[in-house]
Structure 1
């Protein structure tokens, strides 16, 4: 019974690209009383491994919190593994605004004390006694109420790049810090104000709404499904988006663009920018905002010190970072002394967004997928013609392909013409023998990939 990963992230990425499957990035949570979190964890890991589901999940006595990547063809089967449990029947799955087949490259299911760390130690606190849920339309309408206080229960690096207009955005590193801060600021408004809150997918403000009801607040509301579900409803129903900028996400994408508003600044030069990166020095890994120009100048580093380190031999870099515990220090963004532009903002300060027609990032690779379509069959030396057996999908004249192998390396080109089973053709399908001219020798170990561009 295998209860852990056996493949590295690099190996997993290669398998995903070769499989050519579309994957769905999603998230979900549910507060519930789980008697045996460890057994629950093991059962989920085994069930999800069979479906090639990847992602990061936390389970605890209080429930489950998950961010996942699932093959599209296994989506319904994945849902069934959840609904096998009574407390997850009909559970809402928040599908990501932007999809990326490589959003997660490992399956991690961990047992934690809590699925959302809150710093609370109160046996009388009932996390299931939550506030009133609002859909996108209801949420927009309530924002017009002068008695509403809108609070963002995400962290500073999340709200910095995107938030709802008029929201209080606490300058905190963790969720647990925001609870006492907001509680203190709103002590005089427990009865006369409507407390409206939101977060990324709903899990944090679900706990926050229960907490503030526990603290005596009488009118507590929350955005159902968070920013992710709000954005889906806004698009589906043609509503105005009151959220501006980017929605920060906790996978390698680090953000989903909701509107073209840029409300943040590069932490190194101050230029309008909302692209998060992690410092290229693995011993630092600081999360911060860096524009294209600074990224090129600094090679993805947050400081000259880190720039010097990444130029050292890898074994020396490993020695420098040996035993260093970064923990939450990587989320200190502009608070780091290494960054020059560290604008401290008041949580009530109005942010004036900058509108951009297009957002270009010179360092970001074009979104593409490599689909394995065939294997080397023969090389005709005198004619300089390669032959491949098509084993998956189909190939057409005009397609971009990649030939890769241990000796060949990687060679990309456009198929301008080819023969299928000895005859001129426009399309090659599964089991066909395809031949075309190449300026290099291919080997039987070579693989043929189809390159698919994605928006």
Structure 2
């Protein structure tokens, strides 16, 4: 009985590409009393594995919190695996605003003490005494009320690229940090103002609204289904979006666009940008905002130090990062001294209307689909020619390709000519060996991708 992943992310990505199936990215949560979280976890893993469902899920005695990627053809079957449990009958599945077949590449179901790390002792207050849930139109209407305070209960790297107009956006790294800070700062308003709160999918507000009611806040409201459900409703009902920018998501996409407003900037050069990346140095992997030009100049790195490291031999890189614990540092993107244009602000600074640039006013990065097609076979030093074996898909003259490797970094070029099995050709298919000139050294560990732009 297989209860854990056996495939690497790279192997899974290749299988997804070969299958050619459309997948649906979604999220859901439910607070409930689960007597045996471990058995619940194992049962879910077995059921979802049969459906080729991937994603990251936390289960605990208090409920379930999941972000998933499911083949479109298995969507209803996936829903049925949830509704066999009484507490998930009729559960709302928040379907992502933007879809990406590769949003998740593993199925991870973990048992945790809590489904959201809130730092609260639930025995000290009534977690069922929650705030009033509002749909999109009701939320918009209450935003217009001058007696309303709206608070973003996400972290700083989430709110930096998108938030509701006029929202207080705490400069915190974790959800648990924001609760006592907001409680202290808003004490004078707890009986007179409307406290309007929101988060990505609603789960953080479920607990936060009860916490603030326990602390004496009289008029507590929360956005039903969070930003994801809000976006679905405004599109369906033709409403104006009061949320501007992008919604940060914790999967491969790192964000989904809600409006064309770009309210953030590249952390390296300062130009308008809201594209999150992880540093290419595996010993760093810092999350930060980087524009296309800086990504090319820095090979996807956050600093000169990291740029130097990724050019070292692979074994040397492994030696340098051996024993390092970087997990808690990855999301502290705004805190790195290497980032010149990091955004710093007071938690409760006065909200000043800011001029935003739209994606039509600056160069918008095309949505790209990278398809892994082959691996390095040989590099002919004197001729500066690389040889790759084609193991998946095909490539033709005129295609843009990406060569990726620990030492090579990421190098792009357009194929103007190449040879297949030693002969001039315009097309290479599976099992062919393709050779072409490159202005850099290629190694056996390098992978070859073909780039498809989706405008």
> Could you say whether these structures have the same fold, taking a TM-score greater than 0.5 normalized by the shorter chain as the test?
yes
Residue 66 of structure 2 aligns to a residue in which SS? strand
- Equivalent-residue separation in structure 2 for 1:150 and 1:345 (angstroms): 17
Verify the 8 A CA contact 1:103 1:253 in the aligned structure 2: yes
- Equivalent-residue separation in structure 1 for 2:393 and 2:198 (angstroms): 49
Residue 168 of structure 1 aligns to a residue in which SS? coil
- Equivalent-residue separation in structure 1 for 2:393 and 2:259 (angstroms): 41
Within-5 A mapping of 1:260-279 = 260-279=260-279
**Residue 67 and residue 260 in structure 1: after superposition, are their counterparts in 2 closer, same or farther (change >3 A)?**
same
What is the aligned partner in structure 2 of residue 374 from structure 1?
none
Residue 74 of structure 1 aligns to a residue in which SS? helix
Residue 115 of structure 1 aligns to a residue in which SS? coil
Residue 293 of structure 2 aligns to a residue in which SS? helix
What is the aligned partner in structure 2 of residue 316 from structure 1?
316
What is the aligned partner in structure 2 of residue 439 from structure 1?
425
Aligned-pair CA distance for 1:219: 1.1
Structure 1, unpaired ranges of 5+: 372-402, 415-437
Aligned-pair CA distance for 1:168: 0.4
Aligned positions, number:
399
- Answering whether residue 99 of structure 2 is matched by residue 99 of structure 1, we say yes
- Equivalent-residue separation in structure 2 for 1:298 and 1:366 (angstroms): 19
What is the aligned partner in structure 2 of residue 367 from structure 1?
369
- Answering whether residue 77 of structure 2 is matched by residue 77 of structure 1, we say yes
**Residue 411 and residue 344 in structure 1: after superposition, are their counterparts in 2 closer, same or farther (change >3 A)?**
closer
What is the aligned partner in structure 1 of residue 55 from structure 2?
55
What is the aligned partner in structure 2 of residue 259 from structure 1?
259
What is the aligned partner in structure 2 of residue 127 from structure 1?
127
Aligned-pair CA distance for 1:192: 0.8
**Residue 213 and residue 38 in structure 1: after superposition, are their counterparts in 2 closer, same or farther (change >3 A)?**
same
Task: Output the TM-score relative to the length of structure 2.
Answer: 0.82
What is the aligned partner in structure 1 of residue 14 from structure 2?
14
What is the aligned partner in structure 2 of residue 397 from structure 1?
none
Task: Output the TM-score relative to the length of structure 1.
Answer: 0.82
What is the aligned partner in structure 2 of residue 163 from structure 1?
163
- Equivalent-residue separation in structure 2 for 1:173 and 1:219 (angstroms): 27
- Equivalent-residue separation in structure 2 for 1:441 and 1:186 (angstroms): 65
Aligned-pair CA distance for 1:413: 5.9
- Equivalent-residue separation in structure 2 for 1:153 and 1:192 (angstroms): 21
Within-5 A mapping of 1:75-224 = 75-224=75-224
Verify the 8 A CA contact 1:287 1:332 in the aligned structure 2: yes
Aligned-pair CA distance for 1:257: 0.8
**Residue 75 and residue 360 in structure 1: after superposition, are their counterparts in 2 closer, same or farther (change >3 A)?**
farther
Q: 1:412 aligned to 372, 396, 409, which one?
A: 396
What is the aligned partner in structure 2 of residue 341 from structure 1?
341
- Equivalent-residue separation in structure 2 for 1:365 and 1:140 (angstroms): 30
**Residue 278 and residue 74 in structure 1: after superposition, are their counterparts in 2 closer, same or farther (change >3 A)?**
same
Residue 79 of structure 1 aligns to a residue in which SS? helix
Verify the 8 A CA contact 1:368 1:454 in the aligned structure 2: no
Verify the 8 A CA contact 1:199 1:227 in the aligned structure 2: yes
Verify the 8 A CA contact 1:132 1:222 in the aligned structure 2: yes
Aligned-pair CA distance for 1:409: 9.4
**Residue 147 and residue 3 in structure 1: after superposition, are their counterparts in 2 closer, same or farther (change >3 A)?**
same
Residue 367 of structure 1 aligns to a residue in which SS? strand
Verify the 8 A CA contact 1:370 1:451 in the aligned structure 2: no
- Answering whether residue 218 of structure 2 is matched by residue 232 of structure 1, we say no
What is the aligned partner in structure 2 of residue 40 from structure 1?
40
Verify the 8 A CA contact 2:367 2:454 in the aligned structure 1: no
Aligned-pair CA distance for 1:270: 1.4
What is the aligned partner in structure 1 of residue 352 from structure 2?
350
What is the aligned partner in structure 1 of residue 331 from structure 2?
331
**Residue 311 and residue 369 in structure 1: after superposition, are their counterparts in 2 closer, same or farther (change >3 A)?**
closer
- Equivalent-residue separation in structure 2 for 1:43 and 1:126 (angstroms): 30
Verify the 8 A CA contact 2:396 2:427 in the aligned structure 1: no
- Equivalent-residue separation in structure 1 for 2:69 and 2:241 (angstroms): 26
What is the aligned partner in structure 2 of residue 395 from structure 1?
none
Residue 318 of structure 1 aligns to a residue in which SS? helix
**Residue 171 and residue 83 in structure 1: after superposition, are their counterparts in 2 closer, same or farther (change >3 A)?**
same
Q: Which structure's CA Rg is the greater one? A: 1
